[in-house]
Amino acid sequence: MITATCHCGAVQMEIAEPPERLTSCNCSICRRLGTLWAYYRPDQVTFRTPSEATAAYLWGDRTLELHHCRNCGCTTHWQGVDKTVERMGVNARLMAPDVIAAVPVRKLDGAETWTYLD
């Protein structure tokens, strides 16, 4: 079981397994947030804090909710507005450094082509 937590600890997640790969996206928001995304099915991520601990920001085509801690501001995860979507992103920078140290990082050109650059 992997734990991910925001800086202040108000948002805590337990994740079934460590990520197999991470994504660094250069779209207008991800590059500003500095996130590394680990992708999971929603049933693999358990929140140990109430949903009110995060606030969601919708941008672009308004299909993704980017969540951040209401207290410290750390970006925690994204979920689809459509809750039937079987994929979500967890900000792997909230995991312990040793959990992600050896995980390969793919670079996604989310700014223009929406293709991986590797």
Condensed to tens digits (0 to 9), the pLDDT of residues 32-86 reads 999 999 999 999 999 999 999 999 999 878 899 999 999 999 999 999 999 888 9
Which pTM was predicted?
A: 0.94
Domain ranges of the chain: 2-116
How is residue 37 written in tokens? 């995304």
Pairing of strands 12-15, 22-25: unpaired
Q: Which CATH fold would you assign to the domain 2-116? A: 2.170.150
Q: What is the largest CA-CA distance in the chain?
A: 38
Cα–Cα dist 92/79, whole Å: 15
